Structure 1
Amino acid sequence: MIDQVWQISGDMAEDTVIHLDETVSFLADREGIEPPVISAFEQEGSPLWRVDLFFAEKPDSGFLERIVKALALENWPHDAGYIEKRDWVAESQRQQPPIRAGRFFVHGAHDADKIPGGTDPIQIDAGQAFGTGRHETTWACLTVLDALSETLRPDCILDLGTGSGLLAIAAHRLWPKAHILASDIDATSIDVACENFILNRAKTRLSRERSGSIDAIVADGLEDTIFGQEGPFDLIVANILAGPLIKLSGDIERHLRTGGTLILSGLMTFQTDDVLDAYKKTSLQPVDRLVKGEWLALTLQKPAK
């Protein structure tokens, strides 16, 4: 039982509140934090809404800065501190239902006895790191990967921004002979991903054998020399935010093999044009999209010469 919860409270414009839940949920998962419980309500006589975010524990200051930046709240006045609480973490875990995405059944430990027949189960507990399968973008990526497995036969795969490692595990299930490199800017996420690889019996590279194994590294973007050593990649999955997707467009193109496939997610529907405009400056061509709520996944290809 946890006796206190970290609360952040302040007033916010309605157009920001509209995107608050999706954005904070995405970033909380991405940083390996239990997604906060959010309360937002209108205030009589004011154009601003009252917003409260309840975290299981005090979030890292860097995470709060990313919320502020993502929602353009640089001058947002707010209060923060501990308050008495119930066991929000346990309640949150119980409220997280298992998810079906393509052939995959993503569940927490509390639902391990509910796996339906004919599915490929992956156990990822909510709040560890981004990619529990419960966010629309991760669901979309899993669904797209499952569909691509009918025709795609990649030998080398990159999961850029792996978070919990869920997408790398799914790729390993779909293409067990492929080598997979999972990277993330956050060291905690990589630790969690490696634990999940073991939990889900994914083969990590313990020898010089590349085929059928997963490597996990901490890396910011694609500048690390290991990407050049391990690539070029037949398939890249990047489930990160729109800003990094735009910034990394040239590097992603460079590390994608000619004829290769790219899945982009972590962007909202209103950000689609900005992301596609960045990739129009590369050789990559959009071939499909999958929308889930206000989020989507884009599939692009690098044309064969």
Structure 2
Amino acid sequence: MTSTLTPATHRASFSLAGETDARRAVDTLTEVFFEGDAAVAAFERPDGRWDVTVHFAQEPDRDLVRELVAGAAGADIAQTISFDVVEAKDWVKASLDDLVPVPAGRFVVHGSHDRARVPPNKLGIEIEAALAFGTGHHGTTRGCLLLLDHLLKSRSPRRVLDLGTGTGVLAIAAAKSCHAKSCRQSRHQPILASDIDSPSVAVARDNMRINSVAPGVRVIRATGFAAPDFAREGPFDLVLANILANPLRQLAGPMRRHLAPSAHVILSGLLTPQARAVVAAYRARGLVPVRQLRIDGWSSLLLRYEG
């Protein structure tokens, strides 16, 4: 493992009540600070609030930062900004130290440094810390894996789609399960995995090769269901979508049009209070909830299409 010592950075942090305010603040800060001068990120917390963090290469003008945040989110929020310095650290080593193997049913998600810790009766999924989302340590990914494991004990879907694949962990799990069942290529076509983000597509393709499932998974860059690949390779017997609540609600209609009769859908990326609205959107399209898992404040759903 190569040591990657990240230089010390200056950080500004604050919290906002909702997604709209967080997006406005991020947009404002991104417009002012050039790429390389600052990195802006926003994350939703389990309680529904949003944390916004800005990392600066050089010590920032604090008054300017407060002025920008005040314009985007109000003077009261600007007064709550905290400034500190993040010391130099080998973040790669630190992240790997934290990424212990994660069991999820028959699956174990692990890094390359933990290959030997995967029990022989489990299906190891090797995922390194990367830019793409999904190492198995987040409650949404683990929830999806547990539901997938539950479903595949009684089902053997022929056409599988991993929508918003991130690191590719769910597609890898489905492909390894198929291999463990000795699925015949004449019955099971390659899994289709898609992501809107080009770096995620590259990471996912690398992970397919690392996990020896590349021939059984095709990874594409696509937004929603717009690419012709979905119509060509569907309708799908199983769709996996670990995204976010709002995009999942918007995708309910397009997804239904790409489902085979009696198909199953596994959804996650939902804070538990958001699950009811997502279920309602899919129930309106003929999908009924079968099972719901709650892990660390996040919900994962298994639904069946009755169309």
TM-score by length of 2: 0.74
Q: Which amino acid aligns with 1:201?
A: S
Q: CA deviation at 1:11?
A: 3.4
Q: CA deviation at 1:282?
A: 0.7
Cross-structure match for 2:297: 294
Q: Distance in 1 between matches of 2:276 and 2:5?
A: 44
Q: CA deviation at 1:83?
A: 5.2
Q: Which amino acid aligns with 2:196?
A: I
Native 8 Å contact 2:11 2:56 kept in 1:
no
Q: Distance in 2 between matches of 1:151 and 1:144?
A: 12
Cross-structure match for 1:233: 236
Cross-structure match for 1:89: 92
Aligned partner of 1:165 among 157, 168, 193: 168
**Matching of residues 235-254 of structure 1 within 5 Å:** 235-254=238-257
Cross-structure match for 2:218: 215
Cross-structure match for 2:103: 100
Cross-structure match for 1:132: 135
Aligned partner of 2:202 among 186, 191, 197: 191
Q: CA deviation at 1:117?
A: 3.0
The alignment's C-alpha RMSD in Å is: 3.0
Q: CA deviation at 1:7?
A: 4.6
Q: Distance in 1 between matches of 2:125 and 2:57?
A: 26
Q: Identify if the C-alpha distance between structure 1 residues 243 and 2 changes in structure 2 by more than 3 Å, giving closer, same or farther.
A: same
**3-state SS in 1 of match to 2:257:** helix
Cross-structure match for 1:283: 286
Aligned partner of 2:258 among 255, 259, 278: 255
Unaligned 5+ runs, structure 1: 21-35, 41-50, 59-72, 205-212
Q: Distance in 2 between matches of 1:189 and 1:74?
A: 31
Which is greater in Rg? 2
Native 8 Å contact 1:7 1:52 kept in 2:
no
Q: Distance in 1 between matches of 2:57 and 2:198?
A: 19
Q: CA deviation at 1:56?
A: 12
Native 8 Å contact 1:4 1:82 kept in 2:
no
Native 8 Å contact 1:183 1:190 kept in 2:
yes
Native 8 Å contact 2:10 2:57 kept in 1:
no
Q: Distance in 2 between matches of 1:107 and 1:221?
A: 29
Q: Which amino acid aligns with 1:154?
A: P
Q: CA deviation at 1:217?
A: 0.4
Q: Which amino acid aligns with 2:163?
A: L
**Matching of residues 11-50 of structure 1 within 5 Å:** 11-12=14-15
Cross-structure match for 2:192: 181
**3-state SS in 2 of match to 1:260:** strand
Q: Does structure 1 residue 111 correspond to structure 2 residue 122?
A: no
TM-score by length of 1: 0.74
Q: Does structure 1 residue 143 correspond to structure 2 residue 154?
A: no
**Matching of residues 59-74 of structure 1 within 5 Å:** none
The runs of at least 4 aligned residues of structure 1 exceeding 3 Å deviation read 5-8, 51-58, 73-84
Q: Deviations over 1:158-192 (max 9, x none)?
A: 00000001100000011234320000000110101
Aligned partner of 1:123 among 126, 129, 142: 126
